[in-house]
Amino acid sequence: MLDKLLSIEKKYEELNNLLCQENVIANPQEYKRVAKERAGMEDIVSLIREYKKLLFDFEEANKMEKAEKDPEFSEFLSQEVKSLTERKEKMEDDLTVLLLPRDPFADKNIIMEIRAGAGGDEAALFGMELFRMYNKYAENKGWKTEVLSSNITGLGGLKEVIFSIEGKEVYSRLKFESGVHRVQRVPATEASGRIHTSTVTVAVLPEAEEFDVEINPVDLRVDTYRSSGAGGQHVNKTDSAVRITHMPTNLVVACQDERSQHQNREKAMRILRAKLYEMKQEEEARKIAQSRKLQVGTGDRSEKIRTYNFPQSRITDHRIGLSVHNMEKFLLGEIDEMVDALMMAEQREMLQKVS
C-alpha cells in the first residue's frame, strides 16, 4: 500500500509544478483543470503525509522499546507502541477507503432536474417540496444554487425545474438522489381524505466544463420565441426565450426564465453540455464493458428509490432498506442521515469487490 500512497503524493507534486509552468498559466481551461485535479487530491495527500510521520514514530518507538533496559521506562514505551499501533491501524483503514476507485465525477458540481410524474397536481406540488428540500440542504452545506429553467403550475407546484448546485463534494453527496421518489399522502385537493400515491423523477447530472465536452456551433439550431407563463410583463414582450437543438443527438433544451436572450442561451448551453457529457460517459462505459453499476449506484431514472409516507412520517430508501422518521425535518433539508448511509453502503460494496 505504501508504494501506491507514495505514487499519489508524487502525482500531487507534479500537479503543483504544472501550475507554475507558463504554458499552463497562459491556458485558463488547462489551469482550471489541473487546479481542480490537485484540489481533489489534497485530503488524501494530507493523510498520506500524516501516515508517513506516524510510521516513522512507530518504528522509532519500537527500536527504543527493544533497546530499553529500565523496566519502568520500558513499560511506558510499550504503552506508546500500543497507542501508535492502534492509530496506525485506524489510519490504514481510512486510507484503504480513500484508495478505492474514485468516482470520476466526485469533484463536479451538478445540474439537478426534478419532474412531476404520475399524480397530476399532487405530483407537481411534491416536486416543489423536493426542490425546496434540496435548496435548504444546499444552503446548510454552504453550496450555491441557481435555477436554470422552471415550469410552475397554477397551484404553485413544479411541473419541471432544472437547477445547478455548486460546492465541495456536491456530486458525491447528491448522486444517489437520481431516480423515482414516491409520495403517499392525502392531497390538499382531495375532499374525501383518501391517501394518494404520486411520483416525482429526479436526475442528477455532473456539470460539464467546456474542456469536458466539445460542442461544434454548426451542430446547433437556436430558436428564439416569446416566453409564456408567469414571470412579469418584460418576459412576454420580447422574444427572450431560447430553444437549442443539438442536431447530431436530437437533444433539445430550452430556457425562458431570464430577461435576455443572452442569459437564457447561456443557461441552456449549461444544461445541454451536462446532457451531452452524460451521454459521452455512458458511451465510454459501454465501450470498455464496465462492470455492472454498484447496487446502491446513482440510481436509474426509472427506478423507484424512495418512498415518503406522510401518514407515518416515514421516509424509506428501498436500495438500502433504511427508514428514517420525522418528515418535517427531512423536507427542511436534514437529509444527512440518509445520504451518509448511502455513501457508507457504496463504500462497503466497493471494499467487498477489492478484498
Q: Kindly report, residue by residue over 43-96, the tens digit of the pLDDT.
A: 889 999 999 999 999 999 889 988 888 888 888 889 999 999 999 988 888 888
294 Rama class: left (phi>0) / alpha (psi -120 to 50) / beta: beta
Within 10 A of 81 (CB to CB), how many other CB atoms are there?
17
Query: Is 80 in the same domain as 122?
Result: no
> What does 265-302 look like in DSSP terms, one character per residue?
HHHHHHHHHHHHHHHHHHHHHHHTTPPPPPSSSS--TT
For 133-180, how does the pLDDT look when each residue is reduced to its tens digit (9 = 90+)? 999 999 999 999 999 888 888 888 899 999 999 998 899 999 999 999
CB atoms within 10 A of CB 31: 16
Cα angle at 47 between 45 and 48, to 5 degrees? 60
User: What tens digit of pLDDT does each residue of 199-223 get?
Assistant: 999 999 888 877 678 888 899 898 8
Instruction: Quote the pLDDT of residue 354.
Output: 62
* Residue 124 shares a structural domain with residue 194: yes
pLDDT at 128: 95
Mean pLDDT, the chain, whole residue set? 85
Structural domains counted in the chain: 3
Clarify whether residues 300 and 257 are in a common domain. no
Q: Judge if 233 and 264 occupy the same domain.
A: yes
Domain that holds residue 274: 218-287
Mean pLDDT in residue range 328-343: 95
Report the distance separating Cα 129 and Cα 25, nearest Å: 44
Kindly state whether residue 103 falls inside one of the protein's structural domains: no
Q: Which of 265, 287, 309 is the last residue of a domain?
A: 287
Same-domain pairing of 180 and 323:
yes
Q: Are residues 145 and 262 in the same domain?
A: no
Assess whether 236 and 256 both reside in one domain.
yes
pLDDT for position 192: 67
Mean pLDDT of 26-32: 88
Domain containing residue 278: CATH number:
3.30.160.20
CA distances from 319 to 116, 174, 175, 325 (A): 22, 15, 14, 17
Same domain, 171 and 43: no
Q: Which of 287, 310, 334 is the last residue of a domain?
A: 287
CATH of the domain at 329: 3.30.70.1660
292-334: per-residue pLDDT in tens?
344 444 444 567 999 999 999 999 999 999 999 999 999 999 9
Q: How far apart, in whole angstroms, are the C-alpha atoms of residue 253 and residue 268? A: 6
Per-residue pLDDT, 256: 85
User: Is the predicted pLDDT of residue 286 greater than 70, yes or no?
Assistant: no
Does residue 105 lie within any of the structural domains? no
Measured CA to CA, the distance from residue 216 to residue 151 in angstroms comes to 29
